[in-house]
Amino acid sequence: MTYKNFNVETDADGIALVTWDMPDKSMNVFTEEVMDELDKIIDQVVADDAVKGAVITSGKDTFSGGADLTMLQRMLKLFREEEARDHDKAIKMLFDGAGRMSWLWRKLETCGKPWVSAINGTCMGGAFELSLACHGRVAADSDKVKMALPEVKVGIFPGAGGTQRVPRLTDPQSALQMLTSGQNLSPKKAKQMGLIHEVVEPAKLIDAAKAMIAAGLKPVQPWDEKGFKLPGGPVYSAAGANLWPPAIAILRRETYGNYPAAAAILKCAYEGLLVPFDTALRIEQRYFTEILRSTEAAMMVRSLFVSLQELNKGARRPQGVPETKFKKIGVLGAGFMGAGIAFVTAKAGIPVVLLDRDIAAAEKGKAHSAGLMDGAIKKGRATEEQKEQLLSLITPTVDYKDLEGCDLVIEAVFEDSEVKKSATEQTEAVIAKDAVFASNTSTIPITGLAKNSKRPDNFIGIHFFSPVDKMMLVEIILGKKTGDKALAVAIDYVRAIRKTPIVVNDTRGFYVNRCVLRYMSESYQMLIEGVPPAMIENAAKMAGMPVGPLALTDETAIDLAQKIMKQTIRDLGEKAVDQDQFALINTMVDKHGRHGRKNGKGFYDYPEKPAKKHLWPGLKDLYPQQDADKIDVEELKQRFLVTIALEAARVMEEGIVTDPREADVGSILAFGFAPYTGGALSYIEGMGVAEFVALAKKLQKKYGAQFKAPKLLVEMAGKDETFYERFNPYPKAKKAA
């Protein structure tokens, strides 16, 4: 038989090699067609008496990225359509669809012939669950091989046997940590955990897999053998009593109950380990069906899988502009930001000219890259050879003539218009007319800066976030005269350094900073109201934010917040800044000398290690304190999320961001907006626009004008409209999911 996505060859020893190689795809993924073909291949292997067993591997550099989650979106769309007609029938349809992969893998592992998975590259999600269902598992000894069950990161969980096989192969504590975090495993780590059997040289992978079958590999899984015992002992045992209650408490501490899929993993594992394996799979299927119907899953899959992939593939790139293959990039300013930009550029294999006012500063900027590579070497993530290769790509200089031949120059000098004007003029004197000039400014509008340029159509903003090497988002800012070529080059560059681009029209604070400033501002207001500082920070974390707003202000610097407020007053007048909040910031900086983490004194105190930072005790003396028992914590949580979401809606209304995918993905990647919501706009949609507007009105009445819903939201609520309908980012032929 011939297949579209697989090639099946049986050797002289009767071992079938099943090679998965999807045409027209860079990575193998599970689709309905792929699963149909695998079903037939299992039947073919079983029916052919000449076949002793089968090895499954990939014909690509990677094994598989797992399921195509757009398949789940289609399933859920059909479910919603059927639910409107027949609820029970719709649930049954979703239940059966949710179990398709699980029972296919069960068919494979009980087919009576041995299967071995030969893992040659990245093996994620359903692909790793397929491997776990095989009787033998061999992985290539390579840095390119990573195994994981990462579904929890997009709001679902390993629903094809992952929650049952992993805790039957390794100790339950390691199993739960792996399942609830979605962590990547190296071949060595996976073997230590007992999840794979062998790690071999890449060239010997298929031979090793075949050898397992030739050596008489039993076609029976351990859990199907009589007398099988769980690696960690029974659930109802002394060991179980020491594991499960703390595991529940730890999960609650880490997630605050915001991630239903993570809680479902614990339930699946706990209940499944009490019953026979087939019953356990049925339990998993039940929970998976339930999680698929959750708002969190729908929003997270849309933003953190579908939209993220589309943006990473250049969804906003202008068509018809040839792709840029970067030969050389210039970075102006070798301070913390410029040095970070040089590092990520060199890491992508692109030569960098790092320019500063004196050679010592430029060399110091290059040394930043050396330090980052030293850290990676210590952690086993890089080699000395890779460090030397990266450093060889960075050329420190003080001479603008060295920028000649650059395809793109990124300016990261001081936030001073005159300094930036000089840097622009000196650069344009030496670079080619069609080269693109980008500013990394975080506060100065791009249109104004472009006035310093002789070719504003090739002038653009590329706004990085700190620290550059860790933050995955980049804002690309369009000036009024920025052309398609500059936008295409900027997107090509951001993709080349493996970060996610979002495109933003020019405005004060762009998109991300506008939202972040609202988050911080609400915390200042709470302080003024007398909400205990610890409650402010804890409520923000309970709402799903990774860092409390007071801690975040310390990281960015309180005196910077003061400078921004003063500049805003100069530009827009005193009414543009809340005077009570301005007084608070002035008191912190001018009276108490508390500038943030950088001087060891901010909203927190920063003692020398090993002591940990702690809230400054003097905070509670600035304003009369409310009785904590009388404060509604749920309302504090709402205030943080609603104020950010309202700002995101205003940005859409003003046309600063035009694509809801960018607003959602940007809010999560830039400042960690409660990922379980799917992002700032999805938070509104998940609640329902009308319900959100009603909540905003309630908060406005109680706390002030910052909660006033923009006309756009009120109009959308009246029409029962969503952002993904009103600002549909897809062509007419493809409706928004």
Q: Which residues are catalytic?
A: 463
Query: Quick check: helix, strand or coil at residue 56?
Result: strand
Query: Which residues are 67's β-sheet partners?
Result: 30
The amino acid sitting at 52 is K
Contact status, residue 350 vs residue 328, Cβ threshold 8 Å: yes
Sign of the four-CA dihedral 283, 737, 667, 497: positive
Contact status, residue 471 vs residue 446, Cβ threshold 8 Å: no
Residue for token digits 């007419």?
732
- Phi/psi at 673 (5° precision): -55, 115
**Which long-range CB contacts under 8 A does 274-282 form with residues at least 24 apart?**
274/235, 274/236, 277/164, 277/168, 277/221, 277/223, 277/224, 278/106, 280/164, 281/99, 281/102, 281/103, 281/106, 281/161, 281/164
Neighbours of 43 (CB within 10 A): 13
Sign of the four-CA dihedral 361, 365, 366, 371: positive
Neighbours of 698 (CB within 10 A): 14
Cα–Cα distance list, 556 to 228, 464, 542 (Å)? 55, 14, 22
Structure tokens at 500: 């996610």
Give the β-pairing of 329-332 and 408-411. parallel
Size (the chain), residues: 737
Alpha carbons 522 and 646: distance in angstroms, whole number: 12
Q: In whole angstroms, how large is the CA radius of gyration of the chain?
A: 28
Contact status, residue 444 vs residue 417, Cβ threshold 8 Å: yes
Alpha carbons 540 and 522: distance in angstroms, whole number: 11
Residue for token digits 């999840």?
195
Query: How far is Cα of residue 558 from the mean position of the Cα atoms in its chain?
Result: 28
**Strand spans (E) along 238-387:** 329-332, 352-355
Residue for token digits 């390691």?
174
Alpha carbons 89 and 87: distance in angstroms, whole number: 6
